[in-house]
Amino acid sequence: MSVAFVVAVLAFGCVMCAALAWQALTDKGIQPYLEQYSQSGGRSDGTTARRRKTAPPSFFERRLRPWAIALAPRVGFLRDFVNEAELDQKLTYAGRPLGLDMEQFLGLKAVSALCFLGLGVLWWYAEICLGALAPVVFLVAGFLYPDLWLKRKIDERQTAITLALPDLMDLLSVCVQAGMGFDLALEHISRHMEGPLSDEVARFLHETRMGQPRGAALEGIARRNLSPDLRAFVGALIQADELGVPIADTLHAQAEEMRTRRSQRAREVAAKAGPQISLVTVVIAAPSAVLLLGAMLVMYLMRSQGASAFFHNLPK
């Protein structure tokens, strides 16, 4: 290990420690967060107000978001490398993870690029590979990593919506057949569900209460999501509302169709898993087993030759 690499590691550590120390000095401390759990608001009858169940801030909220907000105004040049409308739509598809808007996401890309650049400099001083190109490669990787993270969030959210939709439709069909109104049934179901689909239902109910037409609120759900099943469900609801078709029958038919699609997708995934397992077996498992057997054979021959030479050299 070269002296330059040690110096680079120590310098990088000192810079990170200094940055964390400065943020700790400017932070208000943990007291504001502990006050959320304190008993306050006592009344004259001796009882106290119920405690607020607010989770403590995450590492992103405490460390990364301030850097992203601080860097967002200084990285306006990044707008030349991204499509703002497409990026905003992707954030909407992902459900605005971590409460990020477009400005903060660009700042997060800058923070990620700087962190990866530091790793690239260390990689360069270590002289492992890539040489002087290592900082550039790591910088590009850090710039693209938030996009990959956002794509994964989109896939997770849309998959969760697709999987939860048939159950929602069955419950909604039962409630409507029992004589409950459509909006009241949605509100009752959303209170007992969790996940992104429940959030979309709650937003739909809020928009309709604020005076937005039901058709426009349903179209907003379709614009905010990529799930084909959800879009088909929204289209069926809009059509049933316009034509006066009983919603209960529409919901039951849509639920059965979506369960059939889900079974077909499961079969497709299972069919694709076979060749992938075979590829892993051929590329990794089989060569490893052959090498292991060869090593055992070589060790056996070496030990056998050593034992025979030992007994051959014994005095007669």
Give domain limits for the chain. 160-263
Tell me if residue 165 falls in helix, strand or coil: helix
> What is the rounded CA–CA span in Å between residue 257 and residue 228?
12
> What is the rounded CA–CA span in Å between residue 55 and residue 35?
12
Angle at which helices 228-243 and 247-280 pack, to 10 degrees? Answer: 170
> What is the rounded CA–CA span in Å between residue 202 and residue 207?
9
> What is the rounded CA–CA span in Å between residue 269 and residue 93?
24
Task: Find the angle CA(98)-CA(204)-CA(240) to the nearest 5 degrees.
Answer: 140
Whether 85 contacts 71, CB under 8 Å: no
- pLDDT of 253 reads 73
* Residue in the block written with tokens 């007992």: 192
Start-to-end CA span in the chain (Å): 53
Whether 70 contacts 107, CB under 8 Å: yes
- Say if pTM beats, i.e. exceeds, 0.85: no
Query: What does the pLDDT profile of the chain (316 residues) look like in tens digits?
Result: 555 555 556 666 666 666 655 555 455 544 444 444 444 443 334 333 333 445 566 666 666 777 777 777 777 777 777 788 888 888 889 888 888 888 888 888 888 888 888 888 888 877 776 777 878 888 888 888 889 999 999 999 998 998 888 888 888 888 888 888 888 888 888 888 888 888 898 899 899 888 888 888 888 888 889 888 888 888 888 887 777 767 776 777 777 777 777 777 777 777 777 777 777 677 777 778 888 888 888 887 777 765 555 545 555 5
- pLDDT of 153 reads 92
> Hey, what CATH class is 160-263 in?
mainly alpha
User: What DSSP string describes 254-312?
Assistant: HHHHHHHHHHHHHHHHHHHHHHHHHHHIIIIIHHHHHHHHHHHHHHHHHHHHHHHHHHH
> What is the rounded CA–CA span in Å between residue 250 and residue 182?
13
- pLDDT of 68 reads 74
- pLDDT of 110 reads 84
Residue positions counted in the chain? 316
* Residue in the block written with tokens 């990866």: 116
